[in-house]
């Protein structure tokens, strides 16, 4: 069974931005798209560990602030030709509250 923890309010996360949550599983970035979808990825770029939470969200991708790799928020995969993957975590919004699970998605 998935264990959810309440980490933020949706309104506390800027649209096209992110908020970092420090957890027992490390720092996790919660992203919010213009359409108010939320995604959670480990806050480490698969390239050289840049803080993805500092990047700008375009559609369902975030651009790493260090070397501009684009990472798909829904899969954690880097956009080709770059290759790599950031761990994804389940996240959901219920009544404006953002819930996170610390069990990474397979």
Which residues does 78 contact at the CB level (< 8 Å), separation at least 6? 46, 47, 69, 70, 71, 72, 84, 85
| Distance (Å, whole) CA 78 – CA 93 | 25
Interface stretch with ligand FES, choices 6-14, 34-42, 45-53, 91-99 (CB under 6 A): 45-53
Phi-psi region of 46 (alpha: psi -120 to 50; beta: other; left: phi over 0): alpha
Please pick, from the candidates 4, 10, 20, 47, the single residue that binds ligand FES as defined by CB under 6 A: 47
Q: What are the DSSP calls for 10-53, one per residue?
A: GGGSPTTEEEEEEETTEEEEEEE-TT--EEEEESS-TTT---GG
* Binding residues among 64-83 for ligand FES as defined by CB under 6 A: 64, 66-67, 69
Closest approach, Cβ 4 to ligand FES, in A, equals: 29
Please pick, from the candidates 8, 29, 32, 50, the single residue that binds ligand FES as defined by CB under 6 A: 50
Please pick, from the candidates 9, 15, 22, 48, the single residue that binds ligand FES as defined by CB under 6 A: 48
Interface stretch with ligand FES, choices 5-13, 16-24, 31-39, 59-67 (CB under 6 A): 59-67
Residues binding ligand FES (CB under 6 A): 45, 47-50, 64, 66-67, 69
């Amino acid at each position: 069974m998935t264990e959810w923890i309440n980490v933020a309010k949706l309104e506390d996360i800027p649209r096209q931005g992110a908020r970092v949550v420090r957890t027992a599983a490390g720092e996790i970035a919660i992203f919010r798209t213009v359409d108010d979808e939320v995604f959670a990825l480990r806050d480490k770029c698969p390239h050289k560990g840049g803080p993805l939470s500092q990047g700008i969200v375009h559609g369902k991708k975030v651009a790493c602030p260090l070397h501009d790799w684009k990472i798909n928020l829904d899969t954690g995969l880097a956009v080709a030709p770059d290759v790599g993957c950031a761990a994804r975590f389940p996240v959901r919004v219920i009544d404006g509250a953002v819930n996170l699970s610390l069990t990474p998605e397979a």
